[in-house]
Structure 1
Amino acid sequence: MRRKISTVLIPGASAPAGINTIKSLRLSDFKGKILSTDSNSLSAGFYLSDYYEVIPEAEADDYLEVLLNVIDKYNIEILMPSSGYDIFPFSEFKSKLKKHGVIPVVSDRKILEICRDKIYTFNHLNKIFRLPFTTLNPDEIDTYPFIAKPRYGKGSRDVIQVNDEQEKRYICSKFPNMIYQEFLPGDEYTIDVMSDLEGNPIISVPRVRLQTKSGISTKGKIILDKELIEESMKIVKKLRIIGPSCIQMKKDKLGQFKLVEINPRLGGGTIFTTLAGANFPRMVVDLVEGKKIDPPKISEITVLRYFEEIVLDERNKINYSGKDLLASNPCRI
């Protein structure tokens, strides 16, 4: 029996993934209400939503209690996987959340841990898929350069290229909890994959990351590469990831794609895929409503991102946004 979704919760309203999830639903002409949450009271996504709530960080002791109160207050029906932090309590307390009438569209906790821990990712998938050699012991890598990065890091943040023995000694002494990985010199690709609620992949949309800042794509081009599409869908099917995920791959020195990272959630660049024709947040709503998803036609577009301003008055009420300013003062060439 189909249900009609009227209210969704989008966590991480201060980060690109949350903001782009809101924007994607707006672009889809979603008729329901959007509640956004974040621990930061000055989150841009708050002012793009119908409602917002400041809640504790996902690791806080009272996080679940506050979340359940918010769910009941607004009659939330879907928890969107738009925050790399909130997806863990969403998964851990999935049964309790469902008793409050809400569907957390997120994978099982075991799958989340495989994706978060890069050593676990390597050990779990290396015999099935091509991955860069990854180790906790830098002495096991005998060629330079190689990569040092956080074992539990997100995106491309805090990734360090190690070029010689002196740099290796410095990195090892200065930065704990790092992993060491084969250097991949080729272009970096992100592949957004959408799966159904049983973990069966529906569509895969690859893009080349033309420019990144703080681990987030700022320029990208959709490239419908058959190998990337097929390989990413195999990875997602193997792990049985539920809903959206974003996978990062790079080419090695021989030009072969290797899996670098898996994020079992909506990514900071998922808006690229929305603009290319596959609106993943809308698909999440459609899946929960019981609709059949037919893979849409994807356009090989290039997307350039830029900052947009929201101006608040002295009471933190929205005054105007960058869009309002442009609308009232259009530039004509």
Structure 2
Amino acid sequence: MSETRTTTGNDEVTVLLTGAGAPGAWGIIRSLRATERPVHIVGVDMDPDAYGFALVDDGYRVPAGTDEAYVPRIAELAAEADIDVVLPLTTDELQPLAERRGEIPARVMVSDADALSVANDKAALYEFLEERGFDSAPEFVHVDDEASFVEAADALGYPERPICFKPTVGSGMRGFRILDDDADQLTRLLEEKPEEAVTTLEEVRPVLAQADPFPELVVMEYLPGAEYSVDALALGDSVGPVVPRTRAQTRAGITFQGVVEENEQLIEEAGDICRELELEYNVNLQFKYDADGTPKLIEINPRVAGTIVMCVGAGANMPYLGLKHALGEDLPPVDVRWGTWMSRYWDEVFRAPSGETYRIGGEQTPSPKPTQ
């Protein structure tokens, strides 16, 4: 790896932003723009039609994060574009980038590979929390065949009480289901959207029985309380700002309404977990309260979260603080405006036949032409 340059707080910095088509890319791009210094953003994505290409300064198409050619392509672009920092937005890219960061001539905002292997695997994460005595460890069973799945459901109290399950590795709401025999079936049929997560063991068991191989799953207690997303700037053996926010309204796992809340219990628990795991850079921790009022950790996203712009609107520009940490610069004090409320809405990007991209009411700008 070639040496990376030393910067000060006012120098222009060039960032390679992966996952330009990720749902949260627009908010993170705006966060990087809303700083005291010029930030040149090079966006990459495997989709040539990723909407983020219309929002960045330069754009390139790259292989999928799981492709063997992915890291070499990122390294090539980092050298060609004189990249200072690589900021990944999607989960699949994290482990390859962590394991091969030495090949990339730029600072890469990912935790060490060993820490990621725990944070990204829910079974390993829950076991870690349990072994270290964290109160936020949920009650769970790790299963890898149909028989153990049914046994786990019984052990956790189903059908007398609802439970849930999800893949050990995944992001968003993918694969998450709640098993609840007491749910109003007519309401589910007529009033809820088809992607509703509530189902029954009888409905899912025939599907799982046909799986070959059977997926690794965690079967866990159902948590009926309020859900929070906590953004933290992890610094390895210490932690910077920690900002909890409510998830009052979500769609496909993405927060559409919420409030930035000074919840000291979550601030302390999230900080302790980040330190114990020795995570680094931006980390997102998802908590949900159980029936007794205890917050349980349901997952960690060891990367910039899609709705981290909510923190930015409350005075804590977490993506930029992560960038400054990557550059080795001193972090400024943060004054969070607790109680800030956010509501998200949709926006559209259009592409004219000429290739120019624009938004209604916005200026027309040339679209970067992503190349392989």
Separation in 2 of the partners of 1:17 and 1:115?
Answer: 20
Alignment partner of 1:16 is 2:33: no
SS at match of 1:52: strand
198-207 vs 163-172, which moves further: 163-172
Residue 323 of structure 2 aligns with which residue? Answer: 285
- Asked whether the 8 Å contact 1:146–1:162 carries over to 2, the reply is yes
Residue 99 of structure 2 aligns with which residue? Answer: 92
Residue 61 of structure 2 aligns with which residue? Answer: 54
TM-score, scaled to structure 2:
0.81
- How do residues 135-214 of structure 1 correspond to structure 2 at under 5 angstroms? 135=141, 136=143, 137-138=148-149, 139-140=151-152, 141-143=156-158, 144-164=161-181, 167-175=200-208, 176-177=214-215, 178-196=217-235, 198-214=236-252
Separation in 2 of the partners of 1:19 and 1:84?
Answer: 17
Alignment partner of 1:226 is 2:264: yes
- Asked whether the 8 Å contact 1:245–1:265 carries over to 2, the reply is yes
SS at match of 1:243: strand
Residue 301 of structure 1 aligns with which residue? Answer: 340
Residue 51 of structure 2 aligns with which residue? Answer: 44
RMSD between aligned residues: 1.9
2:139 maps to a residue whose letter is F
- Asked whether the 8 Å contact 1:145–1:163 carries over to 2, the reply is yes
Once the two structures are TM-superposed, the CA of residue 199 in structure 1 deviates from its matched residue by: 4.6
SS at match of 2:173: coil
Residue 132 of structure 1 aligns with which residue? Answer: 138
Sequence identity percentage: 26
Query: Residues 159-204 of structure 1, C-alpha deviation per residue, up to 9 Å, x if partnerless?
Result: 21101499224323314423211000001100000123x4521110
Residue 35 of structure 1 aligns with which residue? Answer: 42
Separation in 1 of the partners of 2:219 and 2:205?
Answer: 10
Alignment partner of 1:115 is 2:119: yes
2:107 maps to a residue whose letter is I
Separation in 2 of the partners of 1:200 and 1:54?
Answer: 36
- Asked whether the 8 Å contact 2:17–2:88 carries over to 1, the reply is yes
Once the two structures are TM-superposed, the CA of residue 63 in structure 1 deviates from its matched residue by: 1.4
2:30 maps to a residue whose letter is K
Once the two structures are TM-superposed, the CA of residue 88 in structure 1 deviates from its matched residue by: 1.7
* Structure 1 residue runs of 4 or more that deviate by more than 3 Å after TM superposition: none
- Asked whether the 8 Å contact 1:193–1:232 carries over to 2, the reply is yes
Residue 190 of structure 2 aligns with which residue? Answer: none
Residue 248 of structure 1 aligns with which residue? Answer: 286
TM-score, scaled to structure 1:
0.90
Once the two structures are TM-superposed, the CA of residue 44 in structure 1 deviates from its matched residue by: 1.4
- Asked whether the 8 Å contact 2:72–2:103 carries over to 1, the reply is no
- Asked whether the 8 Å contact 2:163–2:220 carries over to 1, the reply is yes
The unaligned stretches of length 5 or more in structure 2 are: 183-198, 209-213, 364-372
Q: Structure 1 residues 171, 214: closer, same or farther in 2, change over 3 A?
A: same
Separation in 2 of the partners of 1:39 and 1:287?
Answer: 28
